[in-house]
Chain A
Amino acid sequence: MADFEERRGLLGDEAEGSSTGRKADRGPGRPLAAICDPSHFLHRVVVLVFMCFLGFGSYFCYDNPAAETAAVQSEVSDLNLNTAKFMQLYAWYSWPNVVLCFFGGFLLDRVFGIRLGTIIFSLFVCVGQVIFAAGAWTNHFWLMEAGRFVFGIGGESLAVAQNTYAVNWFKGKELNLVFGLQLSMARLGSTVNMNIMGWVYSKVALAVGSSGHTALGVSLMIAGGTCVFSLICALVLAFLDKRAERILQKEQGKTGNVIRLTDVKDFPLTLWLIVAICVCYYVAIFPFIGLGQVFFIEKFNFSPAQARAVNSIVYIISAPASPILGFVVDKTGRNVVWVITAVVATLAAHMMLAFTFWNPWIAMSLLGVSYSLLACGLWPMVAFVIPEHQLGTAYGVMQSIQNLGLALFAMAAGAIVDSNGYLVLEVFFCACVCVALIAAVMLYLVDYLKGGDLNRTAAARAKLQKEDSPESE
């Protein structure tokens, strides 16, 4: 899911500054019960529940293709799909986001407003999933691709909306905790999906009486139920937010993302290196997870259930590891070293998968840890190299390039498996990680020459801040 969630923490900080929501005294009227009182903690917990489930549907359905394919291997032949075509389902998700990353925030702020925008994006997710399922049901592949495209339009922008809601309701309160919970929820969605869809499929196949595309379509429709659930959450949130606005007289939340493409020419070399690391690293993770289940079945003789479990370990580990490693990186600083460590660990994991028959649990666990570590080390660096008013543009550019990379590499990965097999695929992923490593080493050197801002220890940073602050006052 293009790792949008990792940057929320930062966006949040930024949005916090620019968001104009203000607290007003509660209007006259009868006192409200705690759970109905928008300014009360208990009420915010209720809102938080809906907020978390807002994204659940899209995260649940994102990896549907992978989960379903491993569920019944022959499904690929049921649909007459080769790996390249299968991976196009992922590519079609990424295509709209190459552009939408720039406009998602704009649409939310200026055109729809957060409430309507969220409902619209949830609708896109729902309709996309229904089209996708209908395509499988009627065995039309182009319809499935169209479904993924529509789903993609909604999916990433919904994450932006979720983020904005969180800032709007929790800024200055439990914001970091909320971001953490939302992240864990996203991981939970992916994990539940990978482990439950095979079971759903087999039950449906029994009920329908055939294991062909009909059963696949029906089980995807059932998965679509989570999207409807998310849509309901969007409606409830819109209602609660409107109500809170009326009672507290606050304004609608804003993403605060202002994109100015002219900023791009001012971006320093270090940012482009960060972008390079980001693209080359994530193309070796997400397309791999899409293809991983069949790989584990074929190479390591895993059962489909085992393959799903080992494939989802990356997400499972990342849920608790992200906050812990985030804390560690925050306390120690030295982001570039952490990034290099993460990239090298990922390279080692991919090489294990490529060149050994070692139990893939080892490699995948390592991948899960290093993936979380990279996210914790890499994303905060953007804020160090880019002035705050350009952050929105920087993130937009990064996400756009990343989606472009994901779309292209997903298709390339599928084609490689079809013609040259999994070893060459793994070698190809190793090559991508190596390019990320080269970029990381260059980043270290460039940063060193510039004075080592990125690679300071946390103590040095704090000291620098202390020295700076008297001057600025």
Chain B
Amino acid sequence: MAATGRLLISTILLVFTFRSCLSLFYGGNTYKRKLFVQLNPNSSSLPRGGELLHVRAVGQNDTLHYLFCSQGAPTLLLVHTNSSSSTVKVNWSQFSSRNTSGSLTVEPESSILYSSAVVFSRLWEYDDVNNTAEASSDLLPPHELQDFSWSLFNLSGATSLLCGAPSDSTNGSLCLQLSVFDSEGRNKLWPRLLHSANSSQVEVWLNGILPRSNASRFVLELQAVSGTYPLSRVDTRQSIDDEYTPSIFKMFQWVSSINGSSDILGFVQWKPVAYRKSHPVLEDATPCRHSDPDSQNGEETAALSALIRGFYSNPEVMGMNVSFGMAGEPFYNSTMFLSWTMLVGVGSPPVDSFSPLVLAIMAVCLGAPVILLLLGGVFVFLYKRRHATVTAYERIN
């Protein structure tokens, strides 16, 4: 019994130590930013070739500039400055002609701490006749996202929606929804990634785009651009906690660091899951995989996107493919919908922690038997003593 009690107590201690460790990571992160949303900064008319969204997330002594642009392939640029008064300047005629760098600048330039961008360059489609989910052969000509006809931004608060369709088709669309956050939290819909004030979330979905074969699967090509430290490696983080994204126990983060050290400057983070419906339940989940990042020609990427051309003079580019579906899983044709979510941010990626529900249940459930054991032990002890005195009394009698 005593051994049992000790075991329980040590387990409880373990859980609480674990919890306090987590809160060290987590509890301090109540940082808040002020958000300012601006469409096509200092442009008097609607720019030709696509819009530019600028969200300024101002902190106490730093600013995050989120720039999201549909000129060419959709691109999200994130610039971190150490001043709360830094600004973005755009020379619109140069920017739209897409042939010189320096048409978009963040001023003062010396305040820039870090910048990186993600270009959504291509959507590959392949005919998975043998149902292997290997995109090695049978690749159909890719959808070049720079050739899509993109809608105007649909803004609501700090969330903006951009949809586009292949220019030769009116059916269906590929949509990108950017959400910028002023504080920590998570979305209601799966995968419910934990975001901080230092990250934004991009949800990509295909809705009704006509597949070109009966067994189509899709692969999304991403290019990560930065000036100095490229997003060079993908870290895998195992998590015991799948309460926010049921049955997913992994997190991938594509990070940029100084010479491979553990200090992370910026990241793209996602869970290996996509969903086949817009309001998914568990059986609509489909796994996704990624290729190893490899370096790309910066000039080609700059040619794809006005934002990259305008901001970076000498872009360092890493490319990666994210493929959706697994052998034996239903094809895209079954629902004609596919959505995938990622975070883009600066600094260390957010770390999940147990929800209060889990902690409360464990604390109560482990605590109750221990308390019962202690009370019971005391009770038995007192009972024994009383009993002993009674018998002693009788014996004397």
Write the residues of chain A forming the contact surface with B, with a CB cutoff of 8 angstroms: 72-74, 76-77, 80-83, 211, 294, 298-299, 337, 340-341, 344, 348, 351, 354-357, 417-424, 427-428, 430-431, 434-435, 437-438, 441-442, 444-445, 448-449
In the assembled complex, 14 residue pairs joining A and B whose CB atoms fall closer than 8 Å, in A order, are A74-B329, A77-B329, A211-B328, A298-B248, A340-B1, A421-B244, A423-B240, A423-B241, A423-B358, A427-B361, A428-B361, A441-B376, A445-B379, A448-B383
Binds A, one of B86-94, B304-312, B362-370: B362-370
Write the residues of chain B forming the contact surface with A, with a CB cutoff of 8 angstroms: 1, 4, 7-8, 11, 15, 18, 238, 240-249, 281-283, 328-330, 354, 357-358, 361-362, 365-366, 368-369, 372-373, 376, 379-380, 383
Nearest-neighbor residue (CB-CB) of B284 within chain A? A77
Query: Which residues of chain A come closer than 8 Å to B18, judged between CB atoms?
Result: 355
Nearest-neighbor residue (CB-CB) of B247 within chain A? A298
By the criterion CB–CB under 8 Å, are B240 and A445 in contact? no
Q: What's the Cα separation between A357 and B1 when bound, in Å?
A: 29
Contact of A421 among B245, B330, B362 (CB under 8 A): B245
Given contacts A348-B7, A418-B246, A422-B247, contact A430 B283 (CB under 8 A): no
By the criterion CB–CB under 8 Å, are A417 and B282 in contact? yes
Given contacts A418-B281, A431-B361, contact A357 B241 (CB under 8 A): no
By the criterion CB–CB under 8 Å, are B243 and A424 in contact? yes
Q: What's the Cα separation between A83 and B242 when bound, in Å?
A: 15
Query: Which residues of chain B come closer than 8 Å to A441, judged between CB atoms?
Result: 369, 372-373, 376
Task: Given contact pairs A211-B328, A418-B282, A445-B380, enumerate 11 new A-B contacts (beta carbons under 8 Å).
Answer: A73-B328, A344-B4, A348-B7, A420-B246, A427-B358, A427-B361, A427-B362, A430-B362, A434-B365, A438-B368, A448-B380
The tally of CB-CB contacts under 8 A between chains A and B is: 101
Given contacts A427-B361, A438-B369, contact A357 B238 (CB under 8 A): yes
By the criterion CB–CB under 8 Å, are A80 and B328 in contact? no
Query: Which residues of chain B come closer than 8 Å to A299, judged between CB atoms?
Result: 240, 242, 249
Contact of B1 among A74, A294, A298, A337 (CB under 8 A): A337
Query: Which residues of chain A come closer than 8 Å to B361, judged between CB atoms?
Result: 427-428, 430-431
Given contacts A211-B328, A434-B365, contact A442 B242 (CB under 8 A): no
Which of A340, A419, A420: most chain B CB closer than 10 A? Answer: A420
The secondary-structure label for the interface of chain B is: helix
**What are the 8 closest A-B residue pairs judged by CB atoms, nearest first?**
A421-B246, A434-B365, A421-B242, A74-B328, A431-B365, A437-B369, A298-B247, A445-B376
Which of A337, A421, A428: most chain B CB closer than 10 A? Answer: A421
Given contacts A355-B240, A441-B376, contact A417 B246 (CB under 8 A): yes
Task: Return A89 CB to nearest CB of chain B, in Å.
Answer: 15
Q: What's the Cα separation between A357 and B242 when bound, in Å?
A: 13
Q: What's the Cα separation between A83 and B241 when bound, in Å?
A: 18
Query: Which residues of chain B come closer than 8 Å to A435, judged between CB atoms?
Result: 365
By the criterion CB–CB under 8 Å, are B282 and A449 in contact? no
By the criterion CB–CB under 8 Å, are A356 and B358 in contact? no
By the criterion CB–CB under 8 Å, are B242 and A423 in contact? yes
Q: What's the Cα separation between A406 and B215 when bound, in Å?
A: 41
Query: Which residues of chain B come closer than 8 Å to A298, judged between CB atoms?
Result: 242, 247-249
Q: What's the Cα separation between A82 and B365 when bound, in Å?
A: 29
By the criterion CB–CB under 8 Å, are B243 and A420 in contact? yes
Contact of B243 among A80, A348, A423, A448 (CB under 8 A): A423
Query: Which residues of chain B come closer than 8 Å to A431, judged between CB atoms?
Result: 361, 365
Nearest-neighbor residue (CB-CB) of A211 within chain B? B328
By the criterion CB–CB under 8 Å, are A82 and B376 in contact? no
Query: Which residues of chain A come closer than 8 Å to B242, judged between CB atoms?
Result: 298-299, 421-423
By the criterion CB–CB under 8 Å, are A444 and B376 in contact? yes
Q: What's the Cα separation between A449 and B379 when bound, in Å?
A: 10
Query: Which residues of chain B come closer than 8 Å to A424, judged between CB atoms?
Result: 243, 357-358
